[in-house]
Amino acid sequence: MKTNNFNMESTPETQPEASISDEEENRAEYSIARSTPETLPEETDNDDGEIGVEHEAAKSTSDAQQKAAMHEKEKNAAYGLVNKRSVRKKVIRRIAVILCAVLVICVGGIIYVNYEANALEVTFYHLQSDNVDAPFRVVQLSDLHLHEFGERNKDLVEWVRRLKPDIITITGDMNNHDNDDTHVVTDLCSQLTQITTVYYVMGNHEWADHINRHTSIKEDIAATGVIILENSYEEIELNENKIVIGGLVNEVSNYPKYKGPEFMKNFMDADGFKLLLVHYPEYFLGTLNDYSIDLAMCGHTHGGIIRIPFVGGLYASDQGFFPELCEGMQKVDGGSIVVVSRGLGGDTSIPRINNRPEIVVVDVSWY
């Protein structure tokens, strides 16, 4: 017979009682532990007080920090405003200084340009030739472009008079082709003829008036007593020397058109010291290099307008930048001696810089 152990272990009379008693006891202990009347309220009050104090302290600290931050912000804003004003003042001062410097430079430049434009300079050259027996002096003027040195060019005339030339040569562009008032040119020519004989070859400005506009400029100049050479020459006696002085007109491109080759052949066939007046020095960059001319006198280039130290002229209208033949005395291919005057004035808005107006003097003598 089998015994039921399961019924023995869980008896209905004892197990539920024990369970209820234990549960109540546990609940009571839990309640006491969770909420003791003598201690819990007091502890809760203290905690709230401490939390309140801490909160007030934190709030006070936060307010102080906010005030400090606001003060710092206001301080930075004020500093930034002051700094911006300071920077603005510095910028304005710098701009004022720059403007003053520019003004001084401009005024100084204007004074310099005006001074240079009227500061006459005399350049002397000496040429030795076995085609002369006695010395003589030639004074050359060129490219006046209606400029005046003193009233009626009295300063220019006085300079020429003091130089005591045997002959005076003028190599063109004494007028401006767009100006019909030529009294500056004719007044000057009239005064120069009182010093000695004057020979004149027309430049591109006189030629434009004479050929294209059909003005009376050629006749007006000739009426002063000046000898105009228009693809023509004269044989003269000068200080016991036989001189052949000729004038070649117009630009290189029109050399054949106006019978330049025929004139040059006749000029070179004449007997004597060859003195050729030609406005364009570009003729000696190829066209006339087959001829050996004793002395050729030219103008047209204005000395390169702006002269750069140790370099030379900057620009000439028919040669471009850094022209090869724009001033001075040179011996070119073929053996010709060529003198190019820097001239006396200008016909452009570009001022002459480091390039004073020039009177050329050539003293010719035997060896």
Is there a single domain that holds both residue 30 and residue 146? no
Q: What pLDDT sits at residue 88?
A: 83
Q: Report if residue 230 sits inside a domain.
A: yes
Angle of helix 154-163 relative to helix 183-192, nearest 10 degrees? 30
Is there a single domain that holds both residue 240 and residue 323? yes
Q: What pLDDT sits at residue 7?
A: 43
Is there a single domain that holds both residue 39 and residue 178? no
Taking residue 170's Cβ as centre, other Cβ atoms within 10 Å add up to 31
Q: What is the largest CA-CA distance in the chain?
A: 184
3-class SS at 283? helix
Domain that holds residue 245: 121-365
Query: Using CA atoms, how far apart are residues 61 and 38, in angstroms rounded to an integer?
Result: 36
Is there a single domain that holds both residue 206 and residue 276? yes
Q: What pLDDT sits at residue 38?
A: 47
Of the candidates 119, 117, 121, the one whose C-alpha atom is nearest the C-alpha of residue 109 is: 117
Is there a single domain that holds both residue 84 and residue 153? no
Q: Record the pTM.
A: 0.74
Taking residue 182's Cβ as centre, other Cβ atoms within 10 Å add up to 20
Interval 80-106: pLDDT, tens: 666 777 888 888 888 988 999 888 888
Question: By the 8 A CB rule, do 145 and 175 touch?
Answer: yes
300: left (phi over 0), alpha (psi -120 to 50) or beta: left
Is there a single domain that holds both residue 126 and residue 235? yes
What are the counts of helices (DSSP H) followed by strands (DSSP E) for the chain? 8, 16
Q: Looking at residue 329, which CATH number applies to its domain?
A: 3.60.21.10
Is there a single domain that holds both residue 202 and residue 299? yes
3-class SS at 119? coil
Q: Report if residue 32 sits inside a domain.
A: yes
Spell out, as residue ranges, where the chain has pLDDT lower than 70: 1-61, 63-64, 69, 72-82
The structural domain count of the chain equals 2
Is there a single domain that holds both residue 83 and residue 131? no
Is there a single domain that holds both residue 57 and residue 144? no
Is there a single domain that holds both residue 189 and residue 54? no
CB-neighbour burial class of residue 198 (10 A; exposed 0-12, middle 13-18, buried 19+):
buried
* Alpha-helical regions (H) of 223-315: 260-269
How far is residue 18 from each of residues 10, 11, 12, 13, 35, measured CA to CA in Å?
12, 11, 11, 10, 26
Is there a single domain that holds both residue 34 and residue 179? no
Task: Report the chain's C-alpha Rg in angstroms.
Answer: 53
Is there a single domain that holds both residue 63 and residue 185? no
Query: Using CA atoms, how far apart are residues 365 and 241, in angstroms rounded to an integer?
Result: 10
3-class SS at 20? helix
Q: Report if residue 328 sits inside a domain.
A: yes
* HSE value, Cβ hemisphere, 13 Å, CA-based, for 176: 11
Q: Report if residue 102 sits inside a domain.
A: no
Q: What pLDDT sits at residue 116?
A: 83
